[in-house]
């Protein structure tokens, strides 16, 4: 297969049905009609790539323009999505060409310094410099054992079931406040709220429609929200075997968080509670009288790639001072390869190229894994991904790169 670059181009509006059918076919899924007929409002066609073989689309990819919370700051993030290659065109360098086109354009256009994606297969993206930087908790438990500690104070507010319209009116402002404190969280504009609140019956997989909760203080201030659904089931003995799936719980106060969970754990006819997208370090465990009742099976969530090492490292904050030279190995994006002088503290950071001797040597994947503060550089050193040149450099860098709040991304795209 020749001239890959010539046949890889953005999708025109009239080509969208061909693009979307090729995408869903590669994932062995049936596309919803609302997605096939025309691009949804959150789609950015100028950042959507298709590889053509005659009249057929044989590879797809897209980018969303997102805002990502990083330790102490917010940065532009290229949300990579829709990456697929037709079975007829695999093992021909197609995916490499797509990844190279995306990252090169980001660098040349001086756009987002960071890219991120959700990996359908975890063995693919490391060779392109991506690494898992957040984990979802995949929480579950038997509702009969999930009881809050008796000393937990749910406050004086109230929890109400509300319509999607009332939820839509209140949740965005609260989300905008809380997401800025959690590395890995992403901003949601009107297009993204519309996407996230879409609840097509064909995609419910036997569960109820999504239900919404708001927590309100006595003065009328909304301090929390939650979204969930229930899938009914019964045993042969006539006992309920229903599962409640909690999609999101956010709050600005501890009491609101406790009140929302108290409501969720008291819903009738439920045997099992699941919160697959909750943080791996969710506070719920510490609210429970029996912490072992909550089971967790963490899985990788957001994969991060530093497109521009200098800009990315200078954008975040560091809770402890750091003044080190990092030698970064980046085979796929050679503009990052080399030595970088990083100085940082809680109020800001500076990062630029240098010829000085390195204190640490690491590959760009290790740097990406540690970027949001959730993966220890000492752990990466133990795995052979970080080499210490100057004694104590791993301790200094590891302390500076960590963050008090565990990174978490509930926004799948």
Q: Which residues are catalytic?
A: 125, 413
Q: Which residues contact 353 (CB under 8 A, 6 or more apart)?
A: 310, 338, 339, 340, 341
* Contact assessment for residue 193 and residue 79, using Cβ atoms and an 8 Å cutoff: no
The full DSSP string for 229-256 is EEE--B-TTS-B--EEEEEEEEESSHHH
Q: Identify how many contiguous H helices and E strands the chain contains and give both numbers.
A: 12, 21
DSSP 210: P
Nearest to 324 by CA among 274, 287, 370, 272: 370
Nearest to 281 by CA among 134, 383, 164, 151: 134
Residue 47 half-sphere exposure toward CB, CA atoms < 13 A: 21
Any idea what the Cα angle at residue 376 is, between residues 375 and 377, rounded to 5°? 120
Any idea what the Cα angle at residue 102 is, between residues 100 and 106, rounded to 5°? 115
For residues 367 and 363, what is the distance between their CA atoms, to the nearest angstrom?
A: 7
- State residue 286 phi and psi, 5-degree precision: -85, -5
What is the Rg, in whole angstroms, of the alpha carbon atoms belonging to the chain? 23
């Amino acid at each position: 297969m020749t001239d890959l670059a010539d046949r890889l181009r953005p999708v025109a509006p009239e080509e969208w049905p061909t693009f979307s059918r090729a995408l869903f076919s590669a994932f062995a899924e049936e596309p919803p009609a609302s997605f096939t007929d025309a691009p949804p409002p959150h789609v950015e066609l100028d950042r959507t790539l298709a590889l053509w073989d005659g009249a057929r689309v044989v590879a797809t990819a897209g980018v969303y323009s997102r805002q990502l919370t990083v330790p102490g700051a917010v940065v532009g993030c290229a949300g990579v999505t829709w990456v697929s290659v037709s079975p007829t065109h695999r093992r021909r360098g197609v995916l490499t060409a797509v990844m190279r086109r995306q990252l090169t354009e980001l660098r040349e256009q001086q756009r987002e310094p960071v890219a991120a994606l959700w990996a359908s297969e975890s063995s693919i993206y490391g060779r392109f410099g991506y690494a898992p930087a957040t984990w979802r908790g995949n929480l579950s438990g038997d509702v009969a054992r999930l009881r809050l500690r008796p000393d937990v104070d749910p406050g004086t507010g109230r929890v109400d079931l509300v319509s999607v319209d009332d939820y839509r009116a209140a949740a965005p402002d609260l989300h905008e406040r809380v997401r800025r404190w959690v590395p890995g969280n992403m901003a949601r504009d009107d297009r993204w709220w519309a996407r996230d609140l879409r609840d097509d019956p064909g995609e419910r997989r036997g569960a109820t429609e999504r239900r919404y909760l708001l927590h309100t203080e006595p003065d009328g201030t909304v301090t929390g929200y939650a979204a969930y659904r229930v899938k009914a089931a019964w045993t042969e003995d006539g006992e309920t075997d229903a599962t409640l799936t909690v999609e999101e719980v956010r709050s600005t106060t501890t009491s609101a968080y406790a009140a929302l969970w108290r409501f969720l754990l008291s819903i009738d006819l439920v045997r099992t509670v699941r919160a697959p997208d909750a943080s791996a370090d969710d506070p719920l465990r510490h609210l429970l009288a029996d912490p072992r009742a909550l089971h967790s099976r963490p899985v990788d969530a957001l994969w991060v790639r530093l497109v521009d090492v200098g800009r990315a490292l200078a954008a975040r904050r560091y809770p402890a001072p750091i003044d080190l030279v990092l030698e970064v190995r980046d085979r796929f994006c050679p503009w990052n390869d080399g030595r970088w002088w990083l100085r940082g503290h809680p109020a800001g950071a500076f990062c630029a190229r240098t010829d000085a001797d390195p204190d640490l040597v690491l590959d760009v994947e290790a740097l990406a894994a540690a970027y949001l503060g959730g993966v220890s550089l000492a752990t990466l050193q133990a795995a052979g991904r970080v080499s210490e040149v100057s004694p104590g450099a791993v301790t200094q860098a590891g302390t500076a790169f960590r963050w008090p709040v565990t990174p978490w991304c509930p926004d799948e795209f």
